[in-house]
Amino acid sequence: KNENLALPVGITLDRFIMRNQEAFQFASGELSQLLRDIALASKILNREINRAGLADVTGLLGSQNVQGEAQQKLDVIADIRFLRALKNGGEVCAIISEEEPEIILTGNNHAKYVIAIDPLDGSSNIDSNVSIGTIFSIFRRKTPIGSVPSLKDCIQRGDEQVAAGYILYGSSTILVYTTGKGVNGFTYDNSLGEYFLSHPQMQVNQEGTIFSCNEGNFYDFPECIQEYLTECKQKRYAGRYIGSLVGDFHRNLLKGGVYLYPPTRHNPDGKLRLLYECLPLAFIIEQAGGKASDGKQRILEIQPQNLHQRSPLYIGSSSMVEAIEECCKEMDKQF
Ligand code: P6P
């Protein structure tokens, strides 16, 4: 029976994962364990993030960490923490990370999952204390269990995802994920070291009045995007952009709105990475009733060609994404 489980607010993430596993007879526990491994790494990273400022200011924590290593940039720490947790967890045979040019083979060749992860997105915002985030996407491997994973395990279409999620390290730390049965949000209680269900069955409004993009690039945007943004302003919509994808995405998920990262002169294919930024958020937004497009097609239908390819991204309330696609189609007709 695959119905959406209506579980009480306040249930812990562990209990929620178990209840969902029980509800899907086929579940053998590996995906549950993988989700737990991700949650654990996020708790460790959350602690590092919360004291990063101290490291810079006092140097007390900065000069040496427990392993005697020199204090490193948080995004390197995040990469190390997640890679270690994922390797030790034993549930993934390969990892694609924004911080690593090549596929990381974990050596767990009997594991059936592959994960694509942006360990710490928006890390340029850390020094200004702006929210940052981890984004992840989980696929079932295509190659036989026991064999060495290959590129084709790692460049699968977004509609092949088994699970996707993000952790937002903001005024509170919240973990949001989907396994294809709706979207649920869990808020972290530092004092207990536990995530608790706080946002069950999240749904994004079909309409929205918030647009999020870096208007500094306005004159680089395709004309149809300039036109769409002008219409938003004529309607006196709200411009909200914190320059941290997970923070902008999460606010729009809760309040309705659209995030745009169009092609620019500096990034003619857009800036965001398809595999570990666009795909997971596209899976989440569609599960929450919204849409994600590159202006021409559904993000989840794009066939990735390489690990770190970029894509334009328009994501959020369905009517806003549809309006953007409409603009782009009109534009195409003119040429
Ligand atoms: P820009 C952060 O570097 C990031 O990858 C996203 O988190 C964010 O939305 C975007 O880039 C900001 O890019 O060009 O507006 O500074």
Reported as a single tens digit per residue, the pLDDT across 66-77 is 444 444 578 888
Upper half-sphere CA count for residue 232 (Cβ side, 13 Å): 28
Can you say whether the dihedral through the CA atoms of 249, 250, 251, 255 is positive or negative? positive
Neighbours of 216 (CB within 10 A): 9
Number of H helices, E strands in the chain: 8, 13
- Contact of 226 with 211, CB cutoff 8 Å: no
Q: How far is CA 218 from CA 98, 231, 247, 261, 317, in A?
A: 27, 14, 21, 11, 21
Nearest atom within ligand 1 for CA of residue 246: 7
**Residue 85, pLDDT score:** 94
Q: Which of 261, 267, 278 should be mutated for ligand 1, with most atoms under 8 A from CB?
A: 261
Q: Say how far apart CA 79 and CA 118 lie, in whole Å.
A: 8
Per-residue pLDDT, averaged over 274-297, amounts to 97
Residues making up the chain, counted from first to last:
335
Q: Mark residue 276 as left, alpha or beta (left: phi above 0; alpha: psi -120 to 50; beta: remaining).
A: alpha
Task: pLDDT band for 330, please (50, 70, 90 cuts).
Answer: confident
- Which atom of ligand 1 lies nearest, measured to the CA of 133? 7
Does residue 26 carry a pLDDT above 60? no
The pLDDT tens digits for 129-170 are 889 999 999 999 999 999 999 999 999 999 999 999 999 999
- Distance, CA 312 to ligand 1 centroid (Å)? 12
Give CA 274 to chain center in angstroms: 11
CA of 20 to the centre of ligand 1 (A): 34
Query: Quick check: ipTM above 0.85?
Result: yes
Structure-token pair, residue 84: 């270690």
pLDDT of residue 127: 73
Would you say the CB of residue 125 lies under 6 angstroms from ligand 1? Answer: no
User: 123 in ligand 1 pocket by Cβ < 6 Å?
Assistant: no
pLDDT of residue 242: 95
245 lines ligand 1 (CB under 6 A): yes
Q: Does the beta carbon of 244 sit less than 6 angstroms from any atom of ligand 1?
A: yes
Q: How far apart are CA 35 and CA 17, in angstroms?
A: 8
- Residue 91 confidence (pLDDT): 95
Given a contact cutoff of 8 angstroms between Cβ atoms, the answer to whether 181 and 27 are in contact is no
Enter the pTM of the model. Answer: 0.93
Residue 231 CA to ligand 1 centre (angstroms): 23
> Is the CB–ligand 1 distance for residue 270 below 6 Å?
no
* Residue 27 φ/ψ, nearest 5 degrees: -65, 125
β-pair type (173-178, 161-169): antiparallel
For residue range 190-222, list pLDDT tens digits in order: 999 999 999 999 999 999 999 999 999 999 999
269 versus 125: the higher-pLDDT residue is 269
Cα(151)–Cα(284) distance, rounded to whole angstroms? Answer: 24
The helix (H) or strand (E) run that includes residue 238 is: strand 238-239
Q: Are 328 and 228 a contacting pair, CB within 8 Å?
A: no
- Distance in angstroms (rounded) separating the CA atoms of residues 47 and 52: 9
Please state, as a whole number, how many other Cβ atoms lie within 10 Å of the Cβ of residue 21. 19
Cα–Cα nearest to 31, from 217, 165, 162:
162
Mean pLDDT of 79-87: 93
Name the region of 289 (left: φ>0; alpha: ψ -120 to 50; beta: rest).
left
* Residue of 180, 184, 165 whose CA lies nearest to 16: 184
| Å from CA of 121 to ligand 1 middle | 8
